[in-house]
Amino acid sequence: METEKTYFFSDVSVMIGRSMRHIFRSMDTIFTVCITPIAMMLLFVYVFGGAIETGTDNYVNYLLPGILLMAIATGVAYVAYRLFMDKQRGIIERFRSMPIERSALLWGHVLTSVVSNVMTIIIIILVALMMGFRSSAGILSWLAVAGILVLFTLALTWIAAIAGLSAKTMEGASAFSYPLIFLPFISSAFVPTDTMPAAVRAFAENQPVTSIVEAIRALLSNQPAGNDIWVALAWCLGIMIVAYLFAVRAYKRNAA
Amino acid sequence: MGKAIEVKGLRMSFKDREVLKGVDLEVKRGEIFALLGSNGAGKTTIVNILTTLQRQDGGIATVNGFDVASKPQHVRHAISLTGQFAAVDEILTGRENVILIAKLRHLDHPSQIADDLLNRFGLMDAADRKPSTYSGGMRRRLDIALSLVGKPRIIFLDEPTTGLDPEARIEVWKIVKELADGGTTVFLTTQYLEEAEQLADRMAILHEGRIIASGTLAELKQLFPKTQVEYVEKQPTLEEIFLAIIGKKEAI
């Protein structure tokens, strides 16, 4: 084995600095990501919401967790885009032929994705507040919600990294995110699962979005989250670890 | 004079296509070595193996005395790669590009390094603009400047002038000559024979997965039958005319 000194943290922080510049020089990407989830929220609250029976008197409260997950699924597509561009322009080859920590570029993109998704989430929560979202949750519950959302972002971002690194075309790099964006529809994010046909219901109740949505909803309304929070954490961590391993493999294999 | 690069019996296949069938070559320290070959001959594959991007199927390659397969990190400290496409960050400015690489090479005073290199490559006026506003030649110069950050001992240039106009190509030639004068070893691939003739101390021709000829230009010329003297009226080439008109002829 080589006993080379590596500079993991300094390399990663340089890479974060680079991708943060990319984001702040194209702030429109943040707003574009917000548009679809906010439109969905308006549509469901003011158009469909009146006809949906959720057993709560505040449908915005019911809806918000699913909308946030949808926003994250939209936002991570930019990671696939940015990695694909790095690959196309030969930037990955340049970095890989330099004595820098191998995964630094990936971590830079991934952590930057967390920052930009946090900005998106804050904007959407502000809009939700204007639409009547209220929460009685205390600071600890909010921290738990933040933790789950960050983990969910990390998990999806690593999936996006695989897509960006292995795609042959720009369209291919972003196509992976469509199923992720629609996953909340077949879950308890918009409507309770009770009325769904058995097969759909079985899928809805056992896919990650439902447990994550239920956990966040419980935390925000000061209810005991029970098992959902552990199931949600297990999903996020599991997806994150598997996707991370595949992403690093795709990165190492990456040569034109 | 030690050897900068030594390659013996290098083999590489992609699926069932054998691209390299036992390549041998040597590059001495401080020389400009040109690898010639037509498109798809496997030049880039050799560069990828020597720059640790790809692992060979068989044979041995050492760069700066280190085996590329078992000591890639040591090799990476000694080299830099300028690939076929100018690998510059489009969103960062020219200066930020250089600073980025300097930081990743863990050098002190990155902005000083950026000033020096941008000055040397005549990019000072464009330093605070994004490369998307640069001409092809300027992008290539920035690209090569990025490769020089940290003064690597061996520089790989994979088809450095493909797609450049004649003026920009001569600029690149000038840079390469200056590099070699400063003691840097240059390994370049090209499909332009004239480029090898202009630049290289030694060259090798890669054909169908093997090196079929190598040596200095004089040595390669001896492979041909003795020269016969004929008198031919010398017509200027279009390139010479072009360069004369735009007044860049002295740069050759």
Average pLDDT over residues A127-154: 92
Contact state of A94 with B146 under an 8 Å Cβ cutoff: yes
Measured over the CA atoms of residue A107, residue A112, residue A113 and residue A115, the dihedral's sign is positive
ipTM of the prediction: 0.83
Which residues have CB under 8 Å from B233's CB, separation 6+?
A: none
Of the pLDDT bands very low, low, confident and very high (cuts 50, 70, 90), residue A199 is confident
> Which residues 6+ apart lie within 8 Å of B169 measured at CB?
B161, B195
* Distance from C-alpha of B201 to C-alpha of A215, rounded to nearest angstrom: 69
For residue range B58-93, list pLDDT tens digits in order: 999 999 999 999 999 999 999 999 988 889 999 999
Q: Cite the DSSP H helix spans in B92-158.
A: 94-104, 110-120, 136-148
Tell me what the pLDDT averaged over chain A comes to: 87
In a domain, A2, yes or no: no
Task: Check if A3 contacts B (Cβ < 8 Å).
Answer: no
Of the candidates B76, B83, B92, the beta carbon closest to that of A99 is on B76
Over the range A123-135, which residues count as b (16 or more CB within 10 Å of their CB) and which as e? bbeebbeebebeb
Asked if the structure places residue A34 within a domain, the reply is yes
| Contact at CB, B54 and A96, closer than 8 angstroms | no
Delineate the domains of chain B, giving CATH numbers in brackets. 3-251 (3.40.50.300)
Question: Given this model, what pLDDT does residue A254 score?
Answer: 63
State the DSSP H helix or E strand holding residue B249, giving kind and residue range, or none if neither: none
User: d(Cα A166, Cα A168) in Å, to the nearest integer?
Assistant: 7
Q: Does A13 touch chain B (CB under 8 A)?
A: no
Report strand pairing: B17-28 vs B3-14.
antiparallel
- What is the nearest CA distance from A28 to chain B, expressed in angstroms? 14
For residue A201, give the amino acid letter.
R
**Residue B104 contacts A, CB cutoff 8 Å:** yes
The single residue listed with the structure tokens 């920052």 is: A115
Taking CB atoms and an 8 Å cutoff, what residues of chain B touch A7? 106
Task: Kindly report which listed range (A4-8, A53-57, A201-205, B51-55) carries the lowest average pLDDT score.
Answer: A4-8
Q: Which residues of B touch A98 (CB under 8 A)?
A: 76, 80, 101, 104-105
Cβ neighbours of B131 (radius 10 Å): 20
Average the pLDDT over A41-62 and give the result: 82
Q: Does A18 contact chain B (CB < 8 Å)? A: yes
B69, B26 in Cβ contact below 8 A? no
- Rounded to an integer, the average pLDDT of B215-225 is 80
| Percent of the residues in chain A that have a pLDDT greater than 90, as a whole number | 43
Position B41 scores a pLDDT of 85
Which residue of B lies nearest to A4 if distances are taken between CA atoms? B73
Domain that holds residue A27: 8-253
Residue A3 in domain: no
Q: Is there a contact between A93 and B81 if contact means CB atoms under 8 Å apart?
A: yes
* Chain B interface includes A226 (CB < 8 A): no
Q: What percent of chain A has pLDDT over 70?
A: 96
Is residue B182 predicted with pLDDT exceeding 50? yes
Q: How many domains does chain A have?
A: 1
3 state DSSP class of B221 = helix
